[in-house]
Amino acid sequence: MKQDIHEYLAELEDIPGTRVFTAARARRGYWLNQFAMSLMKPENRERWKAGEQAYLEDWPMTADQKEAILARDYNRCLDLGGNVYFLAKVFSTDGLSFAEAVSTMTDMGFPEYRDMMLNGGRSVEGNRSIKANRAANNEGTD
Amino acid sequence: MARLTAGVGSSHVPLLGVAVDQGKTGDDYFGPIFAGYEWTRQWERDTAKPDVVILVYNDHASAFDMKIIPTFAIGCGERYKPADEGWGPRTVPDVEGHPDLAWHIAQSLILDDFDMTIINEMDVDHGLTVPLSMMFGAPAAWPVKVVPLAVNVVTYPVPSGNRCWALGEAIARAVESFPEDLNVQIWGTGGMSHQLQGPRAGLLNREWDNRFLDALVGDSDAARHIPHIEYLRETGSEGIEMVMWLVMRGALGPKTRCLHRHYHIPCSNTAIGHIVLEPAE
């Protein structure tokens, strides 16, 4: 084995504001993602739009996952094992563009987010590593 | 014998497909993006004229859901329909496969130690149809046959850059042993920097992306050794798609020449990158 799996997975958790779709998240979010996937069929989209709560009753998701989806709280969905390519079926059904849906996960409104993208996007500076940021902050307060 | 004549790298942002399908490719937002593909569209049509494209892409929860997650999968079917990704299928032509070449590559790869998943039926999403639109516009039928090669870049661990590069090398050996005289290109798609999730969404990295484009040209193989964590930190969580460009680069052999290159920020959440390479002596 080229890289130790434990070290590999630990590194993936060291990125600020990011939930890498690891096996652990994939397992946790299995039914959340499979539910989202079901919205690829037009007849399912119709049924979903007619009654979201009732539609969710068919899926063995946790109460938290159901609540997060109904609230369109996508960061919480990510924490509960959702993956953005699956969740995209939900926001596409809502008629949201990728950029608008993605902006809801940031601390900006859509117009502000769109301006940030037009101006070159979010900088990588200060966004690489949770540990490095923590170390830098500690130095600053010493 | 079949010949692998060129490689193309390109982003495959779904919004580009929307721009083509709604006739917005010349407006202020999309104009500069599509202008950078003009050279390639003309070159594909008048000079390169490929018979087949091996199109390396990732499925975005369209053909594959969480039930089955193949790391490397090759499409050996006769044809593929555009997928319904939640807003109805794109109104682009069906994609015609090349089952003879695809099966030849699949068999050769398996003997060459790549344990491929074989797909006979699937729908193809924007990951595959957007690059076709970028290179060929909006024809009544695509001017090439396509061998889809799907890479898992969604559920971790995804394959290493080194493994992707080696897969490209093996694909080149397979193509070169196909007896029919075919002009074959290989395209690596996805990227460049972008992050579609979480509070860090919207990250772009012009400098890193351009270093990556530089690294694809010439005789260096440094890019095959970039670890996943570097893509994730420097280019956003979805920037990992760039490992698929390494399948293309690996297939072109020890040295490449750059015919065309284009970079533009932004398209939706994403940095657009595009490069045309050919094998060099």
Q: Is the pLDDT of residue A1 over 60?
A: no
The band of B61, judged by pLDDT with boundaries at 50, 70 and 90, is confident
Question: Can you give the pTM of this predicted structure?
Answer: 0.96
Q: Is the pLDDT of residue A93 over 70?
A: yes
Helical segments of chain B, H only: 14-21, 31-43, 99-111, 126-136, 161-176, 206-215, 228-235, 243-251
**pLDDT value of residue A2:** 76
Question: Average pLDDT in the B59-63 region?
Answer: 89
Residue B194 appears among annotated catalytic residues: yes
The band of B199, judged by pLDDT with boundaries at 50, 70 and 90, is very high
Each residue's pLDDT tens digit, B143-178:
999 999 999 999 999 999 999 999 999 999 999 999
**How many whole angstroms separate alpha carbon B26 and alpha carbon B28?**
7
Q: Is the pLDDT of residue A142 over 60?
A: no
Amino acid occupying residue A112: E
Which residues of A are less than 8 Å from B65 in CB distance? 33-34, 37, 86
**In order of start, what are the domains of chain A with their CATH numbers?**
21-89 (1.10.700.10)
Q: Is the pLDDT of residue A102 over 90?
A: yes
The band of B53, judged by pLDDT with boundaries at 50, 70 and 90, is very high
Each residue's pLDDT tens digit, B234-251:
999 999 999 999 999 999
Q: Indicate if ipTM > 0.85.
A: yes
Closest residue in A to B85 (Cα–Cα): A40
Each residue's pLDDT tens digit, A21-60:
999 999 999 999 999 999 999 999 999 999 999 999 999 9
Residue B225 appears among annotated catalytic residues: no
The residue among A85, A86, A96, A108 with the most chain B CBs within 10 A of its CB, best to mutate, is: A85
Closest residue in B to A39 (Cα–Cα): B86
Report the CATH number of the B3-279 domain.
3.40.830.10
**pLDDT value of residue B96:** 98
- The whole-chain average pLDDT of chain B stands at 96
Question: Average pLDDT in the B18-27 region?
Answer: 92
Where do the DSSP E strands lie in B41-126? Answer: 52-57, 72-75, 79-82, 95-96, 117-119, 123-124
**How many whole angstroms separate alpha carbon B218 and alpha carbon A98?**
36
> Which pair of structure tokens corresponds to residue B147?
């061998």
Report long-range pairs for A103-110 (Cβ below 8 Å, ≥24 apart): A103/B201, A103/B202, A104/A72, A104/A74, A105/A74, A105/A75, A105/A78, A105/B197, A105/B198, A105/B199, A105/B201, A106/B199, A106/B200, A106/B201, A106/B202, A107/B199
